[in-house]
């Protein structure tokens, strides 16, 4: 895996694809700088090694040149996080941009305008990629969040740089973390897969069965499995058309000696709201008119025991409707157990918007081994797919 550490950046311009698709408030202040912080290590390294950094990213989903989604709004936040001045260049291709890039003093940082102001970016247009490539000597991809897209700046552009392409430190860590779970793992390996639907996670589950010893299934998707096995699930979320798929996965898991753990007891509610009436019942005996919205205490305890015995842990998806405080306990219990196991030496990888948010809410971010920065990209890697942004660098000649 070729990373920035394999290159000499002195007097070179690194054209770095970062993921600065950050949230902003109505006054255009960046409200969460996590993604900028995530790119800092690579930028610092290149600057320290005598290079100049030309950063490029998309922001939101603009239709044409939409001033509201200009990357100029985030320049103060980028500058603050990096601790250096950042020059904004108000386009990303063309003679004027090239001139400004060439005029950058060695050791400086510049940010190009939103790549998606050009529809050619998402179309993976070769001519557009070639025009972008004029802005650097070495191409660095450090945007895991878009690595599953075959866009001009994330994949197609690599061809224009020959051998001068590499992974940034963030993207390299993401690949390494998934590798530590799926291939180079310490056993026992436990995956906790939650979330709303079976349909969005089934390919992940099928693909990870070869690597894991325990599979904890939680959240809305658990009820399709419970119903498929003959359980009474009341008004809980269910995908009737996925019941056979669920049974097939359980059969495959058994063949591969993977222990599957479904909730034992669940907290049920008589309405989908935080102040609904609730009670705890066996997970396969939910009365009509009630829906399962969280794991019960018995499940929490059982899952904690499994997690604490694990040496490698993957968590993707909440095991209850954690956005409502009445149904957050199961997800909190999972987060705490993973943090505890990590403290005892296990490797833990947390990914997916909701699990990452829950980890942050609990103040456990630093207690996990690795928190992934890419939801969709991580799922596709776990599904065993080749990501265009990764392949483009691995195949560079
Ligand atoms: P996903 O995007 O598939 O990872 O699903 C995350 C969503 O699943 C969150 O918004 C949770 O509130 C929701 N969820 C988790 N457990 C349940 C449940 N038992 N019933 C309904 N929704 C749930």
323: nearest Cα among 276, 361, 270: 361
Percentage of the residues of the chain whose pLDDT score is greater than 90: 96
Helices 329-343, 353-361: axis angle to 10 degrees equals 80
Domains contained in the chain, CATH given: 4-167 (3.40.50.1260), 174-382 (3.40.50.1260)
Q: State in Å: Cα 320 to ligand 1 middle.
A: 6
Q: Which pLDDT belongs to residue 106?
A: 97
In this structure, what DSSP letter does residue 387 have?
P
How confident is the model over 57-66, as a mean pLDDT?
96
Average pLDDT over residues 343-361: 93
Pocket of ligand 1 (CB under 6 A): 195-197, 200, 219-220, 237, 292-293, 317-318, 320-321, 323, 352, 354
Burial of residue 353 (CB within 10 Å: 0-12, 13-18, 19+) is middle
Has this prediction a pTM greater than 0.85?
Answer: yes
Which amino acids are annotated catalytic? 35, 197, 353, 376
| Confidence check: pLDDT of 375 > 90 | no
| DSSP label at residue 24 | B
Which pLDDT band, with edges at 50, 70 and 90, does 148 fall under?
very high
pLDDT of amino acid 45: 98
Run of H or E including 291: strand 291-295
Residue 6 scores a pLDDT above 90: yes
Bridge partners (DSSP) of residue 347 are 312
**pLDDT band for position 397 (cuts 50, 70, 90):** confident
Region 80-103 average pLDDT:
98
Sheet architecture: strand order including 265-269: 278-282, 265-269, 291-295
- For 258, the token pair is 């993977």
* Integer Cα distance of 30 and 11 in angstroms: 32
Q: Which of 197, 202, 219 to mutate to test the pocket of ligand 1 (most atoms within 8 A of CB)?
A: 219
Q: Tell which atom from ligand 1 comes closest to the C-alpha of 316.
A: 4
CA distance 45 to 49: 6
Q: Residue 185: how many CB atoms within 10 A of its CB? A: 17
pLDDT, position 346: 98
pLDDT at 390 (0 to 100):
97
pLDDT in tens, 158-170: 999 999 999 999 9
173-211 per-position pLDDT tens digit: 999 999 999 999 999 999 999 999 999 899 999 999 999
Tell me the mean pLDDT in the region 242-269. 98
Q: Provide the 8-state DSSP code for 19.
A: -
Q: What is the 3-state secondary structure (H, E, C) of 342-368?
A: HHCCCEEEEECHHHHHHHHHCCCHHHC
Ligand 1 centroid to Cα of residue 375, in Å, is 15
Q: What is the pLDDT of residue 156?
A: 98
Pocket test for ligand 1, best of 318, 352, 372 (most atoms within 8 A of CB): 318
Q: What is the mean pLDDT of residues 317-339?
A: 97
Mean pLDDT, residues 343-368: 94
Give the pLDDT band (50/70/90) at residue 353: confident
352 pLDDT higher than 90: no
């Amino acid at each position: 895996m070729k990373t920035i550490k394999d290159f000499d950046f002195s007097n070179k311009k690194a054209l770095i694809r970062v993921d600065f698709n950050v949230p902003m408030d109505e006054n255009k202040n960046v409200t969460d700088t996590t993604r900028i912080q995530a790119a800092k290590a690579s930028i610092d390294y290149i600057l320290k090694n005598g290079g100049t950094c030309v950063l490029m990213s998309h922001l939101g989903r603009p239709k044409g040149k939409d001033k509201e989604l200009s990357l100029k709004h985030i320049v103060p936040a980028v500058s603050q996080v990096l601790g250096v001045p950042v020059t904004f260049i108000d386009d990303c291709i063309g003679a004027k941009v090239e001139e400004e890039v060439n005029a950058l003093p060695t050791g400086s940082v510049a940010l190009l305008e939103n790549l998606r102001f050009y529809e050619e970016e998402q179309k993976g247009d070769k001519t557009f990629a070639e025009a972008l490539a004029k802005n650097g000597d070495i191409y660095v991809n450090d945007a895991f969040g878009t690595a599953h897209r075959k866009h001009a700046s994330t994949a197609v552009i690599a061809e224009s740089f020959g051998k001068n392409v590499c992974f940034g430190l963030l993207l390299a860590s993401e690949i390494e973390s998934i590798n530590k779970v799926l291939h180079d793992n310490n056993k026992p390996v436990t995956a906790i897969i939650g979330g709303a639907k079976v349909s969005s996670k089934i390919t992940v589950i099928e693909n990870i069965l070869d690597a894991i010893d325990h599979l904890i299934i939680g959240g809305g998707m658990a009820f399709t499995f419970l119903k498929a096995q003959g359980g009474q699930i009341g008004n809980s979320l269910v995908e009737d058309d996925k019941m056979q798929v669920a049974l097939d996965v359980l059969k495959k898991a058994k063949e591969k000696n993977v222990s599957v753990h479904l909730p034992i007891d669940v907290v049920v509610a008589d309405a989908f709201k935080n102040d609904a009436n609730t009670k705890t019942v066996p997970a396969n005996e939910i009365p009509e008119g009630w829906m399962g919205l969280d794991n019960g205490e018995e499940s929490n305890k059982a899952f904690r025991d499994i997690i604490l015995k694990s040496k490698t842990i993957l968590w993707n998806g909440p095991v209850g409707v954690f956005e409502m405080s009445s149904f957050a306990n199961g997800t909190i219990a999972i987060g705490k157990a993973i943090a505890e196991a990590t403290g005892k030496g296990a490797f833990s990888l947390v990914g997916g918007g909701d699990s990452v948010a829950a980890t942050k809410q609990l103040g456990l971010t630093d207690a996990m081994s690795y928190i992934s920065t890419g939801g969709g990209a991580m799922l596709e890697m776990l599904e065993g797919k080749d990501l265009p942004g990764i392949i483009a660098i691995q195949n560079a000649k």
